[in-house]
Amino acid sequence: MSHPISPNTLAALAKLDTCAVSNAVESFGVRLRNEGFTDATIQCRFPALPPMVGYAMTLRVRSSSPSWKGGIYLDRTDWWTHLRNRPAPHILVIEDEDRHPGTGAFIGVIHAAILQALGSAGAVTNGATRDLPGIERLGFKVFSSSIAVSHAYMHIVEIGGPVKIGGLRIAPGDLLHGDQHGIVQIPAEIADKIPETAERIRERERGIVEYCQSTGFTLEGLTHLTGGDLHPANTPPAASKGS
């Protein structure tokens, strides 16, 4: 990766929620504010679990009909080695290429356990997942568009390469953050600045909430406190160290 992320930064990012991360990213103006996150088709299956952060490892799959090679996903394990050789923590991102994604589920309790053992923080798919109680007991984070009862004819089409999940284009190695709100992509070049910037924005938000709950609240005071701008991403990003 061209911008290595330190373990301390990864740990700090894991303590943030995706809204705080998104606000911080927006404050740097490195992309449009309607880009860089999944849409509402991608649902967090275990919202009570803490946030996840990791590097994307991608697969393309199909399940509505048998593979022309005659195999199913249990016959192919080379992606395990590929995943093990990726920087950890990683997040498995699975694009279901079927015309109607979600006929079968790739991620169930067995693969959740395997992924967890290989250093994965979670999995994201525009398709389906299954075995929800067992996966939740593992504490493994899963995001999907649907739930299915069967694997159907699940098979891997491609390992690696760009995918598109919930309107978000994801390439192998992209830094992702996810929680009950969805998935946000963190530009690697500003990742180390996100925790401090997010905290500065949260401090501003806390001040506004406290003032709104105070007995001295007035519209004039609120306007003075906010400068008439409530958008958290308009809070200037943290200055670079040494500047």
pLDDT digits (tens, 9 = 90+) for 169-184: 999 999 999 999 999 9
State the pLDDT at residue 116: 96
Structure confidence by residue, pLDDT tens digits, 41-60: 999 999 999 999 999 999 99
**Confidence check: pLDDT of 207 > 90:** yes
Task: Scan for tokens 């398709």, then name that residue.
Answer: 127
**Residue among 12, 24, 78 at smallest CA distance from 186:** 24
Q: Are 140 and 117 a contacting pair, CB within 8 Å?
A: no
State the pLDDT at residue 241: 44
Answer yes or no: pTM beyond 0.85. yes
